[in-house]
Structure 1
């Protein structure tokens, strides 16, 4: 709209024109008569209504969601479920202890949340992951990274593909997590 506009303005009048142009370009939200604004939300009140909106109570961070699972002979007490991960991840030390054979090569490059970049050693395809009595297939990208796991850290990350396969439902408010296969349903308390 303003690509070919030329304005000749005396130097003393520049602040006035700047304010005028800013008002032209910025769309302001008009406030409705007899309305109140709470957290960016405008609530319009009728003539006889009082302002009695009950806001929900803020809750604390529930932390990471984890479940116990078994792969081969290794049992993991806290495999992390990560809705932000588009892949399943296993550390190279775990892969070596499982003795599953060769990895399939991959050209994928993974960027972590802290912007660091790592190339996986390969992909471990169709690994059977047992969660209680349920067994699900999963593909794992094997990473050779430094193990800096603390007491709460996990060496296994189950991402969205696994969560989708296991039909995982997480109810953060109730503190429950469920996985199902066929008629069998497994439920966990996550807090």
Structure 2
């Protein structure tokens, strides 16, 4: 009986995927882009983009990030993250955005800002040893600032490695290709700030 109850608690993602797909298709057409053009800009296959636009499957968070970069919009545009009426984010009420698919078990994001209506966005990022985003480098408008709270994080900016340990911080232009690696033997946590918001 308990298993049946647990099964009922699993949310149906199909309606959400359908909405995301329709949003991607609308944004793509508004920009006069073909499927192939969006796929190239997002570093994805045209088949993946086509399936998503038709509401098929369960896209990974990394895929949504790549599409957002290709369309030059925050990922929150897909996730329907709405504005909050309170300026305070309680520790136990942070919105969590977990990565799906590739290395989904190696990183998690918790929003430290109440919403995405302001000029900055801050997240608490936790990554496990071996987490590596080099396969899908990030590149978008704005600036980034990060400070490592524990562990080690390698930040690659245009291919140049910057090793950060506990207490170290970094700032750079987000328009330059960048990616992150946790090279250490332990989990790492960091506060990451983007302006303007990228989700």
TM range (shorter): under 0.3
Which one has a larger percent strand, Structure 1 or Structure 2? Answer: 1
TM-score by length of 1: 0.24
TM-score by length of 2: 0.23
Which one has a larger percent helix, Structure 1 or Structure 2? Answer: 2
